[in-house]
Structures are given as C-alpha cells and as structure tokens.
C-alpha cells in the first residue's frame, strides 16, 4: 500500500514529459539569416514544452548537438548551396552523433531555412541539399508551410528586395513571348 501511495504521489513528476530540445544553428555573414533564425525561434517559443537553443553554427558544440531532440539549420545561399560554414556544421552533427555511439539522427527531427539576395538564388536547391544531408543521417525532416497551408521545404527570405522588379521583368517577358506567338 505504501508503494502505491508513493507511486501516486510521484505520478505528476513521472508523467511530466521532458521538454523537447531544439537547436537552431545558423550561419550569417550580413545578419539576414540571423534575423530569420530569430523569427523561427519566436515561432517555436509559442509551443508549450519546447526548449530552444539558438547558436551560430560555429558556436554550436557537440554537447548542444547531442542534447538536441531536433536541429533546425539556417544558411545563406552561396552558389545554390549551403555556405561552407553551414556544411561544416552538418558534418559536425554526423561526427558528434557517431562519436557518441548514436544511431545518427534516429528519432530526431531536422528542418532548414535559408536567405538569398535575389528571388530564386537557388534557395530551393540549398534547402534540398541540407534536407538530403539530414535524411542521410536518418533524421525525420519537418518542412514548413505557407500562409495557404501548402507544404514547403522550410522558410526562406529574399534580402535584396527585388521581388517587384523581377515580377515586372518576368511579366514583360511573358507578355512579349505570348504576343509574339500570336504573330
């Protein structure tokens, strides 16, 4: 009977789930990717039971990686791929998990976001490259969602403010090609 009373007395602590720890690691030269990392963190902070660590990729330690239940990587786009610093971080993730005898990312989640100076800039390819690396390490990749509820591979931002000019140029080109085809 005493054991049963003790079990009921300890039940709230036994049943209380440990927080889910998410590491947001980002590389940012100009501050744009850091700004997006802060926005990702703000979104996560709205979820009960989530503990968020935000680190520059160069500052994220092996201990940070091992403590994390999930990793979200932020990178600027360089030549339609992750920055070299972001790629080094991904390699350190695999190294830290391997050295700890873990089944790599088994049971952990991953996500990605990126920034680029122009509308395309290879942001999709950059995110896919990071997603492929996490999938190869057996992480479960969680994508994003846009305002209409459609899935995305993660958040992205265009930092040069070229959207309207590019849209106008694209519209002009499409209009010109469309009218030429009727010609």
Q: What is the pLDDT of residues 20-63, one digit of tens each?
A: 889 999 999 999 899 989 988 888 888 888 899 999 999 999 99
The fold of 17-182 is Rossmann fold (3.40.50)
Q: Do 71 and 108 contact (CB within 8 A), yes or no?
A: yes
> What is the token pair recorded at 146?
């846009």
pLDDT value of position 15: 47
Structural domain boundaries of the chain? 17-182
pLDDT value of position 170: 52
Going by C-alpha positions, the residue among 130, 22, 10, 13 that lies closest to residue 67 is: 22
Q: What is the mean pLDDT of the chain?
A: 79
Q: How confident is the model at residue 14 (pLDDT cuts 50, 70, 90)?
A: very low
């Amino acid at each position: 009977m005493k054991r049963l009373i003790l079990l009921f007395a300890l039940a709230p602590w036994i049943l209380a789930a440990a927080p889910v720890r998410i590491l947001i690691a980002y590389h940012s030269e100009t501050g744009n990717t850091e700004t997006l990392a802060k926005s990702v963190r703000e979104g996560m902070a709205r979820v009960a039971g989530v503990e968020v660590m935000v680190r520059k990729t160069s500052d994220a330690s092996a201990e940070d990686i091992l403590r994390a239940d999930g990793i979200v990587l932020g990178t600027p786009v360089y030549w339609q791929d992750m920055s070299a610093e972001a790629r080094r971080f991904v390699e350190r993730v695999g190294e830290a998990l391997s050295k700890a005898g873990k089944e790599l990312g088994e049971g952990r989640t991953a996500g990605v976001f990126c920034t680029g100076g122009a509308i395309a800039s290879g942001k999709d390819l950059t995110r896919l490259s990071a997603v492929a690396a996490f999938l190869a390490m057996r992480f479960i990749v969680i994508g994003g969602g846009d305002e209409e509820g459609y899935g995305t591979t993660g958040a992205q931002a265009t930092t040069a403010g070229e959207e309207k000019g590019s849209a106008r140029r694209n519209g002009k080109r499409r209009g010109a090609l469309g009218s030429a085809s009727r010609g």
